[in-house]
Amino acid sequence: MAGSLLIELDRVEKTYVQAGVDTRVLRGVSLAVGRGEFVALQGPSGSGKSTLLHILGLLERPTAGRYLLSGEDVSGFADDRLSELRNRHFGFVFQSFYLIPYASALENVLLPGLYGPESRRSLEHRAQELLARVGLADRASFKPSQLSGGQQQRVAIARALINQPAVIFADEPTGQLDSATSAEIMQLLADICTQGASIVMVTHDEETAAFAQRRIRILDGRILDNGGPGPAEG
Amino acid sequence: MRRALRLLPRVAGFALDAVLAYRLRSAFVILAVALGIAALTVIVTSIDGANRKALEIVDMFGHDAVFLLGGDIESRAVGKRTLTLTWDDARTIRQSIPGAYLAVPMRAKSNITARFGSRNFDLPVVVGTTEGYAQVWNWPLSEGRDFTAEDVAHGAKVGLIGDTVAQELFGDRSPVGQIVFLGSLPVQIVGRLSYRGLSGGGGSVDDRIAIPLTTLAQRFNLDRKYFRAIRVKFHNPEFMDAHVENLRSLLRHLHRIAPDQPDDFTILTADQILQFLAMLRGGLVAFLGLTAGGAILVGGFVLANLFSISVAERTTEIGLRKALGAATWAITAQILAEAAMLTLAGALLGMALGMGLGQALSRLGILEIQFSMKVFAIAVASALAIAAIFGLRPARHAAGLDPVQALRRSEG
C-alpha cells in the first residue's frame, strides 16, 4: 500500500467551533493521493476544498478520522513533528505567493531548506539551479517587490521544490495572475509533476484544472466525484 | 538537539535580516534601550569611582590614626563651642595614652590669598599646625623640611606649600627658601608637600599652605589657647578600638565632663569615615539606581510594544515560516534573537553615551567615572535581560500563531 499511495485520508471530519456554533466543513472524506499524481480539488467557495488542502498538507488537524503518510498514521503527531514532516516531504504554493518581502529571491527559495538538516552550501547550489529552472537565474538577488506577479509565483514554486518534496500543495496558484502567465505557471507545475512529485491543487478555474490528471469535486464537505482511482467509498 | 544546534546560526541569520529590514523599529528599540543603559553606565562607573575615592581617602587618613575634632558633630547644638581642644590636651594625649606617639594640633583659616611676585593663588585653607604635620598625615615632603619645635615655639614665619600652590606660584622653580605673602604676612617656604591629587570638600588637598599653629593664631587673631582638631597616631592599629576608648576617657576627664553629659569632642577613625562615605554613596546609588531602573523599564516597554506591533505586522511571514517547517522554538528563538541584537546594540550605544556623560560629570567634579569590564558585563547582562523579559511575550505570541489562521488573515 505504501508503495504507490502517498497520502490516505480515512473518513476525515473537520468541524469548526465559532461562537458556540459548530460548522461541519468536512463530512467524512476518504481520499488517496498516489505518487506522481496531479490532482485538482474543485468546488464552489465554502465547499471545504481549502480546508481539505490544509488537512492534506498537515497544516490543520482533522477533528476525526485518520491521516496516513506513506502508510504511517500521523494524526496524533505533535505540532513540531508535523512541522518537520511538512518541511521534509511537502512544498507549498499559495495564491498570494507569500514571499518574505525583505529577502531576495534566492533567500526566499532557500527558506524551507534552512529549517532542514541540509548544508547551506548544497542548498544554495540547488536554489540556483531551481531559479534557473523557473527562468529566473538572473533575478536571484531581486527583492519580491522588484518582480512581476508571475515571477514571484515562480520564485514560490522554486521555494516549494528546495527540499525535493514528495508532494506540492498549491492553493489557487494562478488566482492572481493573468491568463498567459497562468498557463506558463501551470505548465511549470505539470513539468514538475512529470519529474516525480505529486501535486495537489485547489482551483475553481476550469482551464487551470485541465492541467491535472485527476479532478476531485467537492460539495458541502463531501467528495462528489473522486475523479479516478483510489478508495472512494466516501 | 543536534538539529537545533545546527539551526541556531540560521535562526540568528533570519533575525539579523529582520533587524536590518525593519530599520525604524530597530532604531527606536536601540535608542530606548541605550538611554537606560547609559543611565546604568553612569551609576556603575560612579559607584566604582566613589569606592576608589573612599579607599584613597581612607588610605590617606590611615588606619593607625584618629582625627579628634572639637565639639560633638553628631548632636551639635546651636552656639555650642567647637573649640574645646587645648595644647594641654595634645601634650597629655601624647604622654598618657598607651601607643599614641604623635598628637599634632590643627586649625584652619579659610580664604586667604597667597602671593608671590605678581602671581596670586586663592587658598581654600591655610592650616596652622605643629612639627610632625607631614608625618602624621603620611604625607612626605618632596623637598625641604617639616616644622621644628622651635618654629612652633617662636611662632616662626615659615610654611609648607602644597604641590598645586607651588606649581601655580613658582612653576618649575623650587619654592623652598622663597617668601610667599599670606595676605600681608610674609612666610618663608621651608618644605613642599608631595602631590596627593585628592579632592574633596572645598577643593584639592594640594591647594594649601601650612604654617605653625602659633603663627596662625598670633597673626590672624585667633584664640591662642584652643584649636579645632588633633590628629593622633598610634602604634598597633589592631587595637584601635581600645585606643579610641582610652582617648575618650582621657578627654572626658581632662574636660571634666560629668557622666551624664555628652562628649564635647568627636573622634573620627578610618572606619567611621568609610561608613560616612558609604552613606553618601548609598544616597547616590538610590538616586541613580531609581533613574537607571526607570529608564531601563521604559526601554523594555518600548521594546515590548514595538515587538508586539511587529509580530502583528509580520503575521504572514511568521505563518509562512511555520507552514514551511519552522518549529515553535525556532520562531521563539528568532524573535528573541531580534530583540537581543537590538538591545545589545542599544547597550553598546548606551555605554558610549554613559561614558560621554560620565566624562562631562567628572570634568565638572560631580562624579568620578572610570570605565571597567564590570560596566561592560553589567550592560550586556542587562541588555540580554531586557530582551528576554520584554521580548518573551511577543516571541511566544508569534510562535503560537496557527499557520493557516495567520496566512488566511493576511488574505483578508
Give A95's contacts in chain B (Cβ within 8 Å).
Answer: 411
A115 with B411: Cβ contact below 8 A: no
Give B10's contacts in chain A (Cβ within 8 Å).
Answer: 114-115, 120
A115 with B321: Cβ contact below 8 A: yes
Q: Specify the pLDDT at position A42.
A: 94
Residues B44 and B138 both lie in one domain: no
Give A80's contacts in chain B (Cβ within 8 Å).
Answer: 327-329
Cell of B207: 591647594
Residues B98 and B49 both lie in one domain: no
- pLDDT tens profile A9-50: 999 999 999 888 999 999 999 999 999 999 999 999 889 999
A88 with B325: Cβ contact below 8 A: yes
User: What mean pLDDT comes out for the span A199-222?
Assistant: 93
Phi–psi pair at B380, nearest 5 degrees = -65, -45
Q: Are B130 and B213 a contacting pair, CB within 8 Å?
A: yes
B12 Cβ under 8 Å from any chain A Cβ? no
pLDDT grade for B365, boundaries at 50, 70 and 90: low
Burial class of residue A232, CB neighbours in 10 A (0-12, 13-18, 19+): middle
Give B325's contacts in chain A (Cβ within 8 Å).
Answer: 83-84, 86-88, 112, 115-116, 163
Residues B27 and B138 both lie in one domain: no
Residues B120 and B207 both lie in one domain: yes
Give A144's contacts in chain B (Cβ within 8 Å).
Answer: none
Q: Specify the pLDDT at position A109.
A: 98
Judge whether residue B32 has pLDDT over 50. yes
Rounded Cα–Cα distance for residues A90 and A85 (Å): 7
B10 with A114: Cβ contact below 8 A: yes
User: What mean pLDDT comes out for the span B17-37?
Assistant: 93
Q: Which of B127, B197, B121, B112 is nearest to B165 (CA)?
A: B121
- B64 lies in a domain? no
What would you measure as the largest C-alpha separation in chain B, in angstroms? 102
B60 Cβ under 8 Å from any chain A Cβ? no
Q: Specify the pLDDT at position A36.
A: 92
A115 Cβ under 8 Å from any chain B Cβ? yes
Measure Cα distances from B93 to B73, B199, B231, B350 in Å. 21, 30, 11, 55
B411 Cβ under 8 Å from any chain A Cβ? yes
Measure Cα distances from B3 to A122, B330, B337 in Å. 17, 11, 18
Residues B126 and B243 both lie in one domain: yes
Residue of B nearest to A159 (CA): B324
Domain ranges for chain A: 5-225
A83 with B6: Cβ contact below 8 A: no
Mean pLDDT, all residues of chain A: 92
User: What mean pLDDT comes out for the span B210-239?
Assistant: 90
Judge whether residue A148 has pLDDT over 80. yes
Q: Which of A66-70, B63-67, B361-365 bottoms out in mean pLDDT, i.e. has the lowest?
A: B361-365
Give B17's contacts in chain A (Cβ within 8 Å).
Answer: 102-103, 107
Residues B176 and B293 both lie in one domain: no
The residue of A82, A89, A98 whose CB has the most chain B CBs within 10 angstroms, and thus the best one to mutate to test that interface, is A98
Q: Are B314 and B14 a contacting pair, CB within 8 Å?
A: no
Say how many residues make up chain A: 234
Which domain covers residue B172, as residue numbers? Answer: 85-254
A102 with B320: Cβ contact below 8 A: no
DSSP 3-state of A156: helix
The residue of B14, B324, B331, B408 whose CB has the most chain A CBs within 10 angstroms, and thus the best one to mutate to test that interface, is B324
Q: What angle do CA B362, B367, B373 make, to 5 degrees?
A: 85
Phi–psi pair at B65, nearest 5 degrees = -140, 160
Task: Find the CB nearest A103 among B10, B17, B329.
Answer: B17
Rounded Cα–Cα distance for residues A10 and A29 (Å): 7
Q: Specify the pLDDT at position B202.
A: 54
pLDDT grade for A2, boundaries at 50, 70 and 90: very low
Strands in A64-69's sheet, in edge-to-edge order, are: A21-34, A5-18, A64-69, A72-73
More confident residue, A44 or A231: A44
B44's CB contacts (< 8 A; 6+ apart) are: B374, B375, B378
Helices (H) and strands (E) in chain A, counts: 7, 10
Residues B207 and B345 both lie in one domain: no
User: What mean pLDDT comes out for the span B1-5?
Assistant: 73
Task: Find the CB nearest B403 among A59, A96, A120.
Answer: A59
- B63 lies in a domain? no
Residue of A nearest to B13 (CA): A114
B400 Cβ under 8 Å from any chain A Cβ? no
User: What mean pLDDT comes out for the span A132-148?
Assistant: 96
Give A83's contacts in chain B (Cβ within 8 Å).
Answer: 322, 325-328
Judge whether residue B243 has pLDDT over 50. yes
3-state secondary structure chain B: CHHHHHHHHHHHHHHHHHHHHCHHHHHHHHHHHHHHHHHHHHHHHHHHHHHHHHHHHHHHHCCCEEEEEECCCCCCCCCCCCCCEEHHHHHHHHHHCCCEEEEEEEEEEEEEEEEECCEEEEEEEEEEECCCHHHHCCCCEEEECCCCHHHHHHCCCEEEECHHHHHHHHCCCCCCCCEEEECCEEEEEEEEECCCCCECCCCECCCEEEEEHHHHHHHCCCCCCEECEEEEEECCHHHHHHHHHHHHHHHHHHCCCCCCCCCCEEEEEHHHHHHHHHHHHHHHHHHHHHHHHHHHHHHHHHHHHHHHHHHHHCHHHHHHHHHCCCCHHHHHHHHHHHHHHHHHHHHHHHHHHHHHHHHHHHHCCCCCCCCCHHHHHHHHHHHHHHHHHHHHHHHHHHHCCCHHHHHHHHHC
- Supply the DSSP symbol for A127: H
pLDDT grade for A234, boundaries at 50, 70 and 90: very low
Q: Which of B41-45, B188-192, B249-253 bottoms out in mean pLDDT, i.e. has the lowest?
A: B41-45
A108 Cβ under 8 Å from any chain B Cβ? no
- pLDDT tens profile B265-287: 888 888 888 888 888 778 877 88
Q: Are B274 and B77 a contacting pair, CB within 8 Å?
A: no
DSSP 3-state of A170: strand
Task: Find the CB nearest B327 among A59, A80, A103.
Answer: A80
A115 with B7: Cβ contact below 8 A: yes
A103 Cβ under 8 Å from any chain B Cβ? yes
Rounded Cα–Cα distance for residues A114 and B11 (Å): 9
Measure Cα distances from A117 to B4, B44, B319, B410 in Å. 10, 45, 21, 30
Residues B134 and B183 both lie in one domain: yes
Domain count, chain B: 2
pLDDT grade for B79, boundaries at 50, 70 and 90: low
B407 with A98: Cβ contact below 8 A: yes
- B268 lies in a domain? no
Residues B215 and B319 both lie in one domain: no
Q: Are B387 and B340 a contacting pair, CB within 8 Å?
A: yes
Amino acid identity of residue B93, one-letter, is I
Burial class of residue A234, CB neighbours in 10 A (0-12, 13-18, 19+): middle
B323 with A59: Cβ contact below 8 A: yes
ipTM of the complex: 0.93
Rounded Cα–Cα distance for residues B45 and B169 (Å): 35
- B212 lies in a domain? yes
Q: Which of A19, A72, A55 is nearest to A223 (CA)?
A: A55
Residues B137 and B241 both lie in one domain: yes
Q: Specify the pLDDT at position B410.
A: 60
CA-based radius of gyration for chain B? 32
Q: Which of A51-55, A126-130, A176-180, B321-325 bottoms out in mean pLDDT, i.e. has the lowest?
A: A176-180
Rounded Cα–Cα distance for residues A65 and A67 (Å): 7
A120 with B21: Cβ contact below 8 A: no
Residues B369 and B302 both lie in one domain: yes
- Supply the DSSP symbol for A2: T
Rounded Cα–Cα distance for residues A179 and B226 (Å): 110
Cell of B258: 560629668
Provide the percentage of residues in chain B whose pLDDT is more than 90: 54
Task: Find the CB nearest B326 among A95, A115, A163.
Answer: A115
User: What mean pLDDT comes out for the span A134-142?
Assistant: 96
A121 Cβ under 8 Å from any chain B Cβ? no
CB contact residues (below 8 A), chain B span 197-256, against chain A: none
User: What mean pLDDT comes out for the span B225-241?
Assistant: 90
Residue of B nearest to A103 (CA): B17
Q: How far is CA B171 from the centre of its chain?
A: 30
Mean pLDDT, all residues of chain B: 88
Rounded Cα–Cα distance for residues B318 and A85 (Å): 18
Rounded Cα–Cα distance for residues B378 and B43 (Å): 11
Residue of B nearest to A81 (CA): B327
Residues B192 and B141 both lie in one domain: yes
User: What mean pLDDT comes out for the span A3-8?
Assistant: 80
B327 with A84: Cβ contact below 8 A: yes
Judge whether residue B371 has pLDDT over 90. no
B260 Cβ under 8 Å from any chain A Cβ? no
User: What mean pLDDT comes out for the span B52-72?
Assistant: 83
Give A84's contacts in chain B (Cβ within 8 Å).
Answer: 325, 327
Judge whether residue B369 has pLDDT over 70. no
Q: Are B341 and B21 a contacting pair, CB within 8 Å?
A: no
Q: Which of B346, B348, B320 is nearest to B334 (CA)?
A: B320
Give B21's contacts in chain A (Cβ within 8 Å).
Answer: 101-102
Rounded Cα–Cα distance for residues B141 and B138 (Å): 10
Residue of A nearest to B2 (CA): A117
What CATH number does domain A5-225 carry, 3.65.10.10, 3.40.1050.10, 3.40.50.300, 2.40.110.10? Answer: 3.40.50.300
B324 with A79: Cβ contact below 8 A: no
Judge whether residue B167 has pLDDT over 60. yes
d(CA A191, nearest CA chain B) in Å: 22
Judge whether residue A233 has pLDDT over 60. no
User: What mean pLDDT comes out for the span B300-306?
Assistant: 93
Rounded Cα–Cα distance for residues A189 and A203 (Å): 14
A172 Cβ under 8 Å from any chain B Cβ? no
Q: Specify the pLDDT at position A3.
A: 52
Q: Specify the pLDDT at position B199.
A: 64
